[in-house]
Structure 1
Amino acid sequence: MLVRSCLLATAVAAALFAAGNPATAQSTNAAVAQSANPFMGTWTTPEGVPPYDRIRPEHYEPAFDAAIAEAREETQRIANSKTAPTFANTIEAMERSGRQLRRVSSTFFNVASADATPEIQAIQKNITPKLTRLSNERMLDQNLFARVDTLFKQRATLGLTPEQDRLLERTHDSFVRAGAALSPEARARVASINEEMANLAVEFGQKLLADQKASDVWLTAAEVEGLPADQATAFASAATAAGKDGAYLVPATRSAAEPFLTSAPNRGAREKVWRAFTYRGDNDNANDTNAIIARLVALRMERATLMGADSHAAFVLGDAMAKTPDAAMDLLMSVYRPALTRAQEELADIRALAAKDGVDTVQPWDWRYYAEQVRKARFDLDDAAVKQYMPLDGMVDALFETTQKLFGITAHERNDIPVYADGVRVWEMREADGSKIGLFYADWFARPTKRPGAWMNSLRTPNTLLGDTPIVVNNQNLPRPADGQRALISVNEAETLFHEFGHALHGMLSKARYPSLSGTAVSRDFVEFPAQVYEHWITQPEILRQHARNERGERMPEEMLQALLKAQTFNQGFLTVQQLSSAILDLRLHSLSELPEGFNARSWEQQQLAELGVPEEIGMRHRLAHFSHIFDGGYSASYYAYTWAEVMDADGFDAFKEAGDVYDPVLAGKLRREVLERGNTRDPAESYTAFRGRMPTADALLRNRGLK
């Protein structure tokens, strides 16, 4: 069926344009425009990558309309077949369907997150309802569900392979969880809720991006005095690019704000940057997100009730490793309590040092700065000095060397691949025998049109059913260096570099036959394990000795390296309380069965933090007003997943330490074979146990964070 998908898409698109434009001249113009649309033909680009050099914003909506029409026709053909359902003509046929829509969607949404210009944002607003309606139609189609349900009830007699059985189980569960088994009235309401929530999520993301941009902080030379040269130069270059020579521009992004708050001696400037970063989305302006939050939470509650769940959290976690909100909360609190005790000890040290500067009351914009002073005194370690040995290119080399040592995989840069934005780089990843795995795109630098944070996504998911090879993308928001300067990053940013590449490997190395089970298509509280375990290798001494070098090519001094390793658990009380307070509030918010009267996200957040005893000097890593993970990123009631996965990653890396070789080939082979290649072809607990030999406990996590 999909061999002719491009031809079919062209025919459907022509029909759509003719129907919508009765005038002959208009129809002719539309046909000409459509023939020039890169989506309407076979891509002759290297490796069949998206031809970003030819795709223009005006190409997306016609391509979506054609692909949606094609996907709808494919679904209806499967659902309304007069032939008795079989695994091949129903489940496998569904896996084959929608290929053109996946191609258009992955190409577009990759840009929508990384380079959301006003034109791209307008397109996203227009197509989101269309995509949601299509999903509702498919997942609530009673004829299609009846075929799936019949097969599910017969599965013991179908002679399926384990992977096919898993796919049938997951497909049936996805229909049930979408509401296919509900009454007609409930199904209609679920469809309406889904559409409104999808639109609200887009609105949340676009408002947050707009408010982040509007929160840029402009500083004077006096206010940046004492800042490390690389930061000052980058901020000056950003100001110049924005048309203000002589000024300094600090974007309200984590990758800019946190280094500034750590290094800037000027307390007033720190307060400006902290407030700009912390109050994104919560400024009582046109981009305020609090009303969206209240509506989203209410809709999630209503949908959970329709599904027969006690809460949105109960509904979401029913399909996760944790299984219940109580299990997730128990883990969070078992880590939060010792972290809070440690944070109070850290605060005492910070207060003592700040008092020497005449600071009577430590404020949130003081913590990172004075924590860095404590670290310097305790470990003779200067973050700015460390960064001189942490160039981005060197850390990328470290990343690829680690991957080669573990799996034999090598990276070869490609300069013939069209990219969607300036600064994006592409590598071809190869096995040890030289055979091709797929392509890796890296988009590491910030831009005003880029959403905050770091993430991985797939332009093409590997599977053997359709013969697709992987194309994955990693994103960060590192400040772009001045022309001719090296990009210097912190150890935390290097860990994020490794983290996202762990996701990339998970997405690239899958051996699954079916797209729906491939790569990162696993539960939220397992998907972070491959990424988080990969972070451990960046702080291995042999990697830093080889790749941590200054501008003259000199290696990081051994004294600095040893101090850096000793300081790994420093300030973990602060960092853990920040992260877990966000996770706990996410879980508490989505465990509510109804919204309190007059609910306001800001005041509810303040009340919860007070109950938890979170020091005001620390606060949350992600305040609700800008919590993209849970309001625009698919992690609602699931931010706990990072901590859940950290239990596994700490325990999993312990296996390498116990082996006496962090590149142990037997363990690396098991990690690849039992986790990275498996996708969702079996229960994630089975995958972890197959790698480690048992399920983990929280002990390794507490040791890893220095909390035990």
Structure 2
Amino acid sequence: MGCSQPNGNQSTPVSAEQSANPLMGAWNTPDGVPPYDLIRAEHYEAAFDQAIAAAREQNQAIANNTDEPTFENTIEAMERSGRELSRVASTFFTVASADATPANQAVQKAIAPKLARLSNETMLDQALFQRVDTLFNKRAELGLNPEQARLLEQTHKRFVRAGAALSEEARTRVAAINEEMANLGVQFGQKLLADQKANDVFLTAAEVEGLPADQVGAAAAAAEAAGKAGQYLFPATRSAAEPFLTAAPNRDAREKIWRAFTFRGDNANENNTSAEIKRLVELRIERAKLMGAATHADFVLSDAMAKTPAAAMDLLMAVYTPALERAKEELADIQALAAKDGITDVQPWDWRYYAEQVRSERFALNEAEVKQYMPMDGMVAAMFETTQKLFGLTVHERKDIPVYADGVRVFEIREADGSKIGLFYADWFARPTKRPGAWMNSIRVPNGLLGESPIVVNNQNITPPAAGERALISLDEAQTLFHEFGHGLHGLLSKAHYPSLSGTAVARDFVEFPSQVYEHWITEPTILQAHARNAAGEPMPTAMLESLLKAQTFNQGFSTIQQLSSAILDMRLHQLTELPADFDAGKWEAEQLRELGVPEQIGMRHRLPHFSHIFDGGYSASYYAYTWAEAMDADGFDAFKEAGNVFDPELAAKLRREVYEVGNTRDPAESYKAFRGRMPSADALLRNRGLK
């Protein structure tokens, strides 16, 4: 039940089976890291089976304890239980997302129902719940410190929200629903990855004419690796599609790339995700009713900062309305410029290309020229310098740590005095077996109870450069780099005593605040002046830097509508109380976009057929969280601007102490107010996007 992991240095008996399986027994590795150099796909299922059995036995021992329940023999005991399972699971799921080979996918399919079954058994166990409930009902008499009280409250809430307080019949049905949804999530993710791969686009030399050299070189190298030398491969990923759509003069080629990227999961093949979407929504509706909630959205948000779907929608619409007006102005500018090329019907695959032309005219900027000053290594150095300036942390690469795939790098994070905090795995480049998007996860969470240090992982999908070339990235990709490291810092710096309250284990609409506020520093002039350099080592010209910063709010109507349309449809979908038998996600999506007035040339950032966040990523009825957190991050960064120094040491120390270190040891609103002194409004968000 606990989410902790052993440090790998314990002395335990090793059986013959264990000695042949590097996941079992002690890990004699540097810092107790997973022995990825020894692990093969076939090792995982046996290790899971053993760890699940151990966790089941440990949980049953707590439930069947004949002693009166105490905080120590029940709540703390659950924090200590399942350590072996947490260790195996975090090791595997790090790889399952980043290197989804057929063998790893087979493991995921096999163990998903087993994990769901164990979770159901544990969270619906009446003897175990009775012990937790007894303690919860007399919590005021237990003499607990604030963190212990928070842990008891959160543990009780997890049981209740899992259905432990329901009737036996309802508990049985909830368990079946949870297991089916776990399987559907796996199916959705695996179909999407397969369709993404199937949507690879191979172009000719004529079709890539006019593209920047770094894009052409990377595409040529990718095609050659795929056995199609002389062609140019563009995978159906955001990191490949958006730069292409921004820079490619060939309109027909732009359409090919746009369609490949946009219709992932929505093609007439075995990878179409519509059946999984329909069934997942049906099951979420049924579970919400069983839990006594009006809708799935109501159920989810009752445990979030927003509290209600109405509160989340109020914020979304407060931003959506001015963004739509701005988007219409942007469309008019684009149409005027496209008309000069004889285009009278601007299409979605035209927007980024002509928006870039408008930006170039307005701000004297050329994306290809800007990227020459945005090398990946330079942006990584910028990120690490920011961390040092804000928090005094230093970063040191470790070459002795085994990794799960080529290109993964490992860094040790240290305090200013040289003491070690933990390890950071960086997996920044795309590979055919990596799921789309960018994310952070923990292999080990820091906690005082078990004396464990953190291991966090960042993933991104940056297009690898051609051999011998520098990896050049866009400012958007650099912001994503900072964003994910902000999550990483949240995981690394936690000082929670209990594993379940550590790091990023906070409400969905708060977890994005530490990551999004950290993004702001990538556009600080001093950071870019130091690290935005071309191949000759020359800094970005002052005029280019000034124009780049002035252009930050350019095209914000487009980007805001793309994001908010996804968030609004997520919320509307999960406020449904029933689905018609002939429900079709694509048709429903189109109807909603028409009703919202979303211009066809803009559309959604994440269409439902490939919306991993809500169908395979835990963000159902929660995609609004990025906007909710942006209200906080914009307001939070304003505090640094008001201080007159964006690296103000007192304010940085306060941000670390009141946000990054506290995890879920208190209500997130308290954490934000402890840092800022008050809650934010939407005003700072609108100013940040140039919409006010």
| Category of TM-score, reference length = shorter chain | over 0.9
Distance 2:6 2:263 in 1: 50
Is structure 2 residue 87 aligned with structure 1 residue 103?
A: yes
Counterpart in the other structure of 2:60: 76
Runs (5+) with no aligned partner, structure 2: none
The one-letter code sitting in structure 1 at the alignment partner of 2:289 is: T
Aligned match of 2:284: 300
Indicate yes or no: 2:31 matched with 1:47: yes
Alignment of 1:411-490 (within 5 A): 411-490=395-474
CA separation in 1, counterparts of 2:343 and 2:454? 54
- Which residue identity is paired with 1:501? F
The corresponding residue for 1:602 is 586
1:219 aligns with 2:203: yes
Aligned to 1:134: 118
Amino acid in structure 1 at the alignment position of 2:661: E
Name the counterpart of 1:638: 622
1:657 aligns with 2:641: yes
- Which residue is 2:493 aligned to? 509
Measured after TM superposition, the shift of residue 3 of structure 1 is: 8.2
Pair 1:332-2:308 in alignment: no
Q: Judge conservation of contact 1:410–1:431 (CA < 8 Å) in 2.
A: yes
Counterpart in the other structure of 2:237: 253
1:173 aligns with 2:157: yes
What's 2:21 paired with? 37
Deviation at residue 425 of structure 1 after TM alignment: 0.3
| Offset, 1:598 | 1.2
Gaps of 5+ in 1: 15-30
The answer to whether structure 1 residue 574 and structure 2 residue 565 are counterparts is: no
Aligned to 1:164, which of 104, 125, 148? 148
C-alpha distance after superposition, 1:615-666 (max 9, x if no partner): 0000000000000000000000000000000000000000000000000011
Find the counterpart in structure 2 of residue 494 from structure 1: 478
Aligned-partner residue type, residue 681 of structure 2: T
In 1, are the aligned partners of 2:6 and 2:87 still within 8 Å (CA)?
Answer: no
Task: Say if 1:6 and 1:100, in contact at 8 Å, map to a contact too.
Answer: no
Q: Distance in 1 between matches of 2:46 and 2:8?
A: 15
Three-state SS of the structure 1 residue aligned to 2:138 is helix
The answer to whether the 8 Å contact 1:6/1:40 transfers is: no
- The superposition leaves residues 389-423 of structure 1 with CA deviations (integer Å, 9 ceiling, x where unpaired) of 00000000000000000000000000010000000
The amino acid that maps onto 1:419 is V
Supply the distance in 2 between the matched residues of 1:284 and 1:458 (Cα, whole angstroms): 37
**SS at 1:39 equivalent:** coil
Question: Where does 1:6-405 land on structure 2 (aligned, <5 Å)?
Answer: 31=16, 33-405=17-389
Query: What is the RMSD computed on CA atoms of the aligned residues?
Result: 1.3
User: After superposition, what is the alpha-carbon deviation per residue over 1:224-281, rounded to whole angstroms, capped at 9, x for unaligned?
Assistant: 0000000000000000111111000000000000000000000000000000000000
| Offset of residue 9 of structure 1 | 8.9
In 2, are the aligned partners of 1:10 and 1:40 still within 8 Å (CA)?
Answer: no
What is the CA–CA distance in structure 2 between the aligned matches of 1:401 and 1:3, rounded to whole Å? 32
Counterparts of 2:595 and 2:221 in 1: how far apart (Å)? 44
Q: Deviation at 1:35?
A: 2.3
Shift of 1:41: 1.8
Residue 533 of structure 1 corresponds to: 517
Q: Which residue of 2 aligns with 1:22?
A: none
In structure 1, distance between residues paired with 2:7 and 2:499:
19
| Distance across 2 between alignment mates of 1:170 and 1:238 | 48
Q: Which amino acid aligns with 2:614?
A: I
**Alpha-carbon shift at residue 34 of structure 1 (Å):** 3.9
TM-score (norm 1): 0.96
Tell me how far apart the structure 2 counterparts of residues 401 and 130 of structure 1 sit (CA, whole Å): 44
**Cα separation, 2, equivalents of 1:102 and 1:257:** 36
- Note closer, same or farther for the CA distance 1:3–1:472 as it changes in structure 2 (3 Å cut): closer
Letter in structure 2 aligned against 1:622: H
What secondary structure does 2:257 align onto?
A: helix
State the 4+ residue runs in structure 1 displaced beyond 3 angstroms.
Answer: 1-11
- Asked whether the equivalents of residues 9 and 28 of structure 2 are also in contact (C-alpha less than 8 Å), the reply is no
* Per-residue deviation, 1:537: 0.1
Q: What displacement does 1:5 show?
A: 10
User: Which amino acid in structure 2 is aligned with residue 261 of structure 1?
Assistant: L
CA deviation digits over 1:584-606, x for unaligned, max 9? 00000001111134110000000
* 2:658 paired residue among 645, 659, 674: 674
Q: In the superposition, relative to structure 1, how do residues 312 and 8 fare at CA in structure 2: closer, same or farther (>3 Å)?
A: farther
* Residues 4 and 404 of structure 1: CA distance in aligned 2, closer, same or farther (over 3 Å): closer
Amino acid in structure 2 at the alignment position of 1:62: A
CA distance in 2, matches of 1:4, 1:524: 28
Aligned counterparts of 2:304 and 2:144: Cα–Cα separation in 1? 24
Distance 1:6 1:140 in 2: 33
Give the structure-2-normalised TM-score: 0.98
Residue 145 of structure 1: CA displacement? Answer: 0.2
SS class of match (1:40) = coil
Compared with structure 1, are the counterparts of its residues 147 and 5 closer, same or farther at alpha carbon in structure 2 (3 Å cutoff)? farther
Is the CA contact 1:577–1:620 (under 8 Å) kept in the aligned structure 2? yes
> For 2:160 and 2:6, how far apart are their aligned partners in 1?
31
CA 1:253–1:303 in 2, change beyond 3 Å: closer, same or farther? same
* Residue 597 of structure 2: aligned partner: 613
Per-residue deviation, 1:39: 1.6
